[in-house]
A and B are shown apart, each in its own frame.
Chain A
């Protein structure tokens, strides 16, 4: 069965950096686009970024452009999110999301991980 397990969350000071990882199993990781989405405490969902099946195309929401980088290692079945210059408003549970397709930037998230909490606070 499909499993997505996020790790790397924690508490970081404003301006700091963090790298999230998502270990994927139960499907052919290299054949699907992957997304990151987030949810601030007691708030709604927000889409963050997407990467195509081969890593050749990436897209971001405006609020993280220039600060976050999505990447993948298909040999390790792992998705990453490098987060720099973190702000208090980046505090959220970050979800790794598998897409139904291999390319395109639209979200059709058929499997979600359980999420990892990132807290940006001094």
Chain B
């Protein structure tokens, strides 16, 4: 099972929006609505920010939103803040044989 493809980096100024893509296949992202997004600050454990494509856990600001079109899922961070600078990973269900696959990760820089 190959990792999902994410851009290595993305950036934006405070207050701007940044969108990160997560591209898979019809066997993972395109086939199921089980895409999650995680935020990871250096030296810290990942934090769930989006699950089931569009849902936000309680406590996650509504500046974070998710969507999916075909085999590509996207995470949009609106109103960028300094604390949003982190690595972001998508994950998707990929069927019962090898159930879960992560994306390659995207480093978001707040300029």
A interface residues (Cβ-Cβ under 8 A, vs B): 35, 37, 44-47, 50, 59, 61-62, 95, 100, 105-110, 112-115
Contact = CB atoms under 8 A, between A and B. Distances in A.
Interface in B58-111: 89, 91, 93, 96, 98-105
Size category of the binding interface on chain B: 20 to 34
A44 B89 contact: yes
Interface in B32-53: 32, 34, 36, 38, 40, 45-48, 51-52
A44 B45 contact: no
B3 interface: yes
A100 B52 CA distance: 11
A100 B51 CA distance: 9
B1 A62 contact: yes
B51 to A, nearest CB: 4
